[in-house]
Structure 1
Amino acid sequence: MIYLSLKYSILITLLVTGVFLSFGYVYSLIERRNSSYVYSAFGSKGILFTGVLGTAVHEIGHLIMCLIFHHKISDFQLFNFKGYKYEETLGYVSHRYNDRSLYEKAGNFFIGIGPMISGTLFIVFSFKLLLPSIYESININSYFTHLSSINIENAIFLLLSLSKNLLISIFNINNLGDISFYIFIYLMFCVSSHISLSKKDFENSSVGILSLFLIFFAICLVSIFFNLNLSYLLLIFMNMIICVIFFLSIGLIFSLISLFISYIVYSIMI
């Protein structure tokens, strides 16, 4: 009973944390390159141009997760207007939690990865609000309906299909006369340029991994106690993880588009 619970809880923990942290690392690589292009082309003014909105959405992701996991917010700054030229920290959220609460300790993981969720949601909602006809034609929601069963090949095919449709729809000559298109490009560029996790975010997330494992371990124990099939439980988590991967991949696609745009601007300016 304990062995099975331990086995499945370790697997589920690795799946959940591995996916989020892997995406966070890839996001950070893209943002680092993106920021270097922007800074080389525009200097510190470029950081101000993208950072006010992008950093605010980033920090709001932390704030929302703090509220969900009952952390007490002691202080926060959505953007550092005074010292953004000289300090690495463009914004921050200071929070406290009850060290004896497993739920609040596990929340550290989700607070750390919060910007990836808030950033992707912001981009998708902006897309739907500003370019509704294009959003409806792509019908992003329909892709999720095809992820009801575990099929990695199907998920990859859907991602490639979505990427192709997004690129065709965004870089369409018909959009050039629409002011909403330029507003969306600006919003997408700002947010995707600051969607990645900082070193502090990774450290904060790591604090909650053990508590997260203990929660999964308890869930597995309870499942066995009530004669529930752990393989079915794992199947549920696997389906959730595939949906999470697909969701985060949408944000990643937009980040790559932003990187392409910043590279083009950098090439023209330098």
Structure 2
Amino acid sequence: MDFLFSFFNTLLLSFVELFYLLGILMAVGLLLGILERYSNRYLVRTFGPRGILVTAWIGTPIHEIGHLIQCFIWGHRVTKVKLLQLNSPNGVLGYVEHTYNRHSIYQQVGNFFIGLGPIFSGIGSLILSMYFLVPQSYIAFLDQIQHHITVDKFDLSVLKIIAEAVIVIFKSLFTIENLINPLFWIFLIIAISISSHIALSKADIQGSAKGLLTIFVLLVLFNLIAGLFQMDSYRLVVKIAKYNVYVLAFSSFALFFSLITLVLSILFYKIKFLKG
């Protein structure tokens, strides 16, 4: 009976640790998915089924490149790649097919990160675009993170700091100087295109779930071994999980532009509705 109770506590502890380590990342993926779903819904209502293709020529390749890079990192064998296909009969705009060694724990864990690859490539591309096209906004954003965010503290005050960073981005982007700067409009087109296709598909989520299960099993084994040696595994995991401060900070960037995309798609829909 004591063994069963101890094992149950280990499972519960592992679940909590899994949330600390990956919960923020999964929540960001969920929010991006919700924003993209509604944005695309209004775009289709406004411009028809092919309305999504307006942003696909930039957003879809970056989405698929995210999967591709993670495949290379985690040792998966890529069998087929389609960065963009506009005339697919089933509506699939792009895909990356890959295989892996099911006996390799490393490659099994990789399924989680391969599924989430578009979030990494999307955020990275947004930041890179800002760096080259609107550097003053990039500097303002980076300065906000460097001087106000620290991994030593991860509480509700962090959300306030990140919200302030988003406000800084907004103020530095939408200025009179930028509105008359062609590079700003190029950046805005790129940012909207990326954020319109950054969310995970059903296949992406299913692939990530396989890796997530492996990570959970590894955490259970880790906690069982830690218990035998009387180690405080929970404190160690919580300390590692402080990197979520930066996950939130950079994810706010993608969420910000996904929200702008949603607002613009609703605006286009309202304009068409008023004209009609």
Give your verdict on TM over 0.5.
yes
- Taking a change above 3 Å as real, the CA distance of residues 216 and 247 of structure 1, as seen in their structure-2 partners, is farther
Q: Which amino acid aligns with 2:48?
A: G
> More deviation in 178-187 or 218-227?
218-227
Structure 2: gaps of 5 or more residues: none
SS in 1 for 2:250: helix
Question: What does the per-residue CA deviation read over 1:192-244, in whole Å, with 9 as the maximum and x for residues that have no partner?
Answer: 00011111111111111121123334544666677754244123233022322
- Distance verdict in 2 for CA 1:140–1:105, change over 3 Å: farther
Match of 1:239 among 221, 242, 258: 242
**Within-5 A mapping of 1:53-202:** 53-83=58-88, 86-139=89-142, 142-143=145-146, 146-202=149-205
Provide, for residues 6-64 of structure 1, a one-character-per-residue CA deviation record: whole Å limited to 9, x for no partner.
55433222333433332222211111111122222323443222001101111111111
Is the partner of 1:76 in helix, strand or coil?
strand
Q: Which one of 27, 32, 39 corresponds to residue 27 of structure 1? A: 32
Change (3 A) 1:239 1:218: same
Within 2, Cα distance between the matches of 1:105 and 1:134? 39
Distance 1:120 1:145 in 2: 20
Contact map agreement 2:17 2:234 (CA 8 A) in 1: no
**Structure 1 residues 144 and 67: CA distance shift in structure 2, 3 A:** farther
Change (3 A) 1:26 1:229: same
Alpha-carbon distance in 1 for matches of 2:147, 2:219: 25
**Deviation string, structure 1 residues 133-165 (Cα, Å, up to 9, x no partner):** 222133356358623223322211112101211
Distance 1:193 1:236 in 2: 34
Distance 1:126 1:61, change over 3 A: same
**Which of 209, 212, 227 is 2:212 aligned to?**
209
What displacement does 1:261 show?
2.1
**Aligned partners of 1:117, 1:144: CA distance in 2, in Å?**
23
After TM superposition, give the deviation of residue 250 of structure 1 in Å: 2.0
Q: Does 1:46 align with 2:51?
A: yes
Structure 1 unaligned regions, length at least 5: none
Offset of residue 179 of structure 1: 0.6
Identify the range of structure 1 (211-220 vs 155-164) with the bigger mean alpha-carbon deviation. Answer: 211-220
Q: Using the TM superposition, give the Cα deviation of residue 173 of structure 1 relative to its aligned residue in structure 2, in angstroms.
A: 2.6
Q: How far off is 1:267 after superposition?
A: 2.4
Deviates more, 1:182-191 or 1:208-217: 208-217
Whether the 8 Å contact between 2:74 and 2:110 is mirrored in structure 1 is: yes
Aligned partners of 2:127 and 2:153: how far apart in 1? 24
Select between 258-267 and 54-63 the one with higher mean Cα deviation. 258-267
Q: 1:16 aligns with which of 14, 21, 32?
A: 21
The equivalent position to 2:256 in structure 1, one of 253, 257, 261, is 253
Return the alpha-carbon distance in structure 2 between the equivalents of residues 240 and 223 of structure 1: 22
Q: Equivalents in 1 of 2:148, 2:253: separation in Å?
A: 15
Q: TM-score, normalised by structure 2?
A: 0.87
The alignment partner of 1:208 has SS state of helix
Counterpart of 1:268 in structure 2 is: 271
Distance 1:52 1:235 in 2: 40
SS in 2 for 1:139: helix
User: 1-side partners of 2:221 and 2:41: how far apart?
Assistant: 45
Amino acid at match of 2:40: S
Point out the more displaced range, 97-106 or 240-249: 240-249
Residues 167 and 132 of structure 1: CA distance in aligned 2, closer, same or farther (over 3 Å): same
Amino acid corresponding to residue 26 of structure 1 in structure 2: L
CA 1:157–1:204 in 2, change beyond 3 Å: closer, same or farther? Answer: same
